[in-house]
Structure 1
């Protein structure tokens, strides 16, 4: 079927990305202005955009992390739109001994986004629990381990100094089952505060936490109203907030890939929201559901409630590959169009060392997401992700290079511009006034529809494997043109108007 030209497709089909009114300069983009081709789209969308903002749970001060006022599919920080990209070597990053050096490494490579689970399981020997261990070896849940909280404070301070956004996960189900449950302070045999009968806990939880058999996640008043354990959980979250609410660069996710009851995560989201409000602050919250299928009913618990959940995390989609990965994300992107908000991806799986795909899969997922309209993209830690490896650094650097030519928040996904394409061969995002980016996972050749963009265009080829510019050329628009990368592996073609030209 004949594909349509760039300007012929209504912005309303996909929502807002790439069609919002002229943005202020972004953190990584010096480009401003545009040509008349985009002005009509702006007028049509003005009301839609601000209607979307009205659905958000509140507006923070301009300096705080929050959905961008001019296009709430993306974040703004310190008053400017910002694309969140990252990769790190661990999840509970505040626990690592070389945190400051690792943050410096991120910042130097263009990463500005981390995941920080509050996890305390002793995986590597340097982790500590949040509770005080008494001389007899047991823990007192009413006394804190100052070292745990000192580490958390350091993470918040050092990330703020470097402009790195922190996405906290309050609870991680893997801390409370199987081998991790045995030494945990919440296990009654390890504390002086309650026994098994009082708490409702069992001595062992051998099943995968996805079975959701751990009563730890059923304690809230709307669930089993466990008056023995719940006060300690509440006290922990209050302590966490006593640190995090001092800062404006923190996002909150309730759980790690949960399959729990809706009431559990909702309670903690409302609790955090209300505590922040009492401090005169607006914070942005989400839940991360376990289902790989983003159409699953679990995800509606977040997607259908923008009044509470100001963004969504769709990381579990990163178990999928190829066109399925792209299309599943776009389903959510379109689903939230009436009430647009950021779609984050704090865990991108895929590494030769792991079980959830290869190194290639990790880089592909990263690049598909940023062209499909994700507000964040972060490589998962090894061994299930690329972390901050050299391949991850190159992919991030390449993305920043592309962003400096055409900011991602100015684009929208436009697969309709591609023809003679095989499955997973190429992915496109474009804006008729600003430019176009086409990602090739492994070389290939497609036709790109430039019939609506007469004039000369600048074509730059970014080598994603090396994280650098490989080749630049000019291209005549006004027709369908063949596009073929200089080689195999990962490539991004960036097309921008030549001086005085439009797309």
Structure 2
């Protein structure tokens, strides 16, 4: 295993809204075909493809609910799982992912508890080794766990997520949960390219994530390591209705979700909790705000950035899931939504963006490859680490027409157009070099000069970006 160096993933101290890697500030950009990436075939080729187009960020839920997935435990002669016996194949797959990614300088964001492995569905709790009817380690009575769960996570929590001392204090169950986490950390701690997230879009009590964050840090400290942990709340609107027009979940969802959805759970699971708990959470993930669309999406992302700026501790904001693909549901949107969200998050000052898997995202398709490559080309041309969200510098602007990043004296700017448009750029007065990029094909256009303040156009019918630098 590769051992961690001091050059691993860290918060960039000169601008802690961003990460640094190998001692240099870095924007994390990604897309991948699966959430539990360590379980796929041709893993190495997939990571090499991502790296070849400028990507350096993937998601890894510890999920085992898909067909042909390795399970985390071995089975006895009767086919029952033995929670005292880790499955070498499962853990080798994780080690392979981290090792390949480390060689390619790709950061892996691990989600410790794959939420939807623990609820309804034939491939979820009904097939989960922690289910007492599937293992020889404990019974329903001893573990306090049901053998059947016929509701989604948004209805009520599986008692699995109540085991910690501040909640049910279920020491027998907690012991086996710790064994799983111990093995996870044994495999992952030697690597310097790992970020940790407790859950996938959870609605459980705060105490669950708080406990596991402390436990992860304790294990890391025992090995002389410094790690970064977050929680991902199931909240479409991290602003708590502070942005007009932001969608909340319950009213607009389909009938089955409305039937099961419990708004009270979401009232206790807000982004703002992670915002104020700087001990538990060293960075923030607002992935579910990517259910918002258009200008409102930008404003919710910007609100998150400004809330962090006002908080006790500035930290990076990640988006490990950006929706927008073939499903075109209310929450996922279509391809255009996905592409726009990817870019708007960067222009809202976020540190990491990754396309979600298909069909709810565009994954690492050819379309995604061009978006990733173009964003990397753009931010190689002009680093974002000295820039701030500055869309207020654009006037004569329609909703969702253009977005801007700029440095403090307004002599360097980047403008992004989701589609055809024209805006007045209120930059520092003078002559500027303008270099435009056709995002859909990852190509620069010839540099030209213009006087600013003045008008900047998108000459294309598709998305476009420009770098403006004062001569």
Contact 2:157 2:204 in 1 (8 A): no
Counterpart among 192, 216, 229 of residue 248 in structure 1 = 192
Residue 474 of structure 1 is matched in structure 2 by: 449
Aligned pairs for 1:49-448 (under 5 A) are 62-121=6-65, 123=66, 125-179=67-121, 180-296=124-240, 298-338=270-310, 339-355=313-329, 356-431=332-407, 432=409, 435-448=412-425
Higher relative contact order (CA 8 A, sep 6+): 1
Q: Distance in 2 between matches of 1:258 and 1:243?
A: 24
User: How far 1:377 sits from its partner (Å)?
Assistant: 0.4
Matched pairs, number: 433
Contact 2:326 2:358 in 1 (8 A): no
Contact 2:164 2:174 in 1 (8 A): yes
Contact 1:97 1:126 in 2 (8 A): no
Contact 1:131 1:145 in 2 (8 A): yes
Contact 1:428 1:437 in 2 (8 A): yes
Deviations 1:270-322 (A, max 9, x none): 00011111111110110000011112361122100223211000111100011
- Call closer, same or farther: CA 1:419–1:433 in 2, change over 3 Å: closer
Secondary structure, aligned partner of 1:89 = coil
| 262-271 or 294-303: bigger deviation | 294-303
| 107-116 or 433-442: bigger deviation | 433-442
Q: Distance in 1 between matches of 2:446 and 2:159?
A: 58
Could you state the TM-score of these two structures normalised by the residue count of structure 2?
0.90
- Call closer, same or farther: CA 1:61–1:433 in 2, change over 3 Å: farther
Q: What are structure 2's unaligned runs of at least 5 residues?
A: 241-266
Contact 1:254 1:268 in 2 (8 A): yes
Residue 259 of structure 2 is matched in structure 1 by: none
Q: Distance in 2 between matches of 1:375 and 1:140?
A: 40
Q: Distance in 2 between matches of 1:62 and 1:363?
A: 34
| 263-272 or 440-449: bigger deviation | 440-449
Contact 1:405 1:496 in 2 (8 A): no
User: How far 1:61 sits from its partner (Å)?
Assistant: 6.5
- Alignment partner of 1:484 is 2:457: yes
Residue 244 of structure 2 is matched in structure 1 by: none
Contact 1:397 1:468 in 2 (8 A): no
User: How far 1:406 sits from its partner (Å)?
Assistant: 1.1
Contact 1:95 1:127 in 2 (8 A): yes
Secondary structure, aligned partner of 1:328 = helix
Q: Distance in 2 between matches of 1:337 and 1:438?
A: 22
Secondary structure, aligned partner of 1:107 = helix
User: How far 1:434 sits from its partner (Å)?
Assistant: 5.8
| 255-264 or 466-475: bigger deviation | 466-475
User: How far 1:354 sits from its partner (Å)?
Assistant: 4.5
User: How far 1:143 sits from its partner (Å)?
Assistant: 0.5
User: How far 1:416 sits from its partner (Å)?
Assistant: 1.6
| 112-121 or 299-308: bigger deviation | 299-308
Q: Distance in 1 between matches of 2:302 and 2:5?
A: 30
User: How far 1:433 sits from its partner (Å)?
Assistant: 6.3
Secondary structure, aligned partner of 1:211 = coil
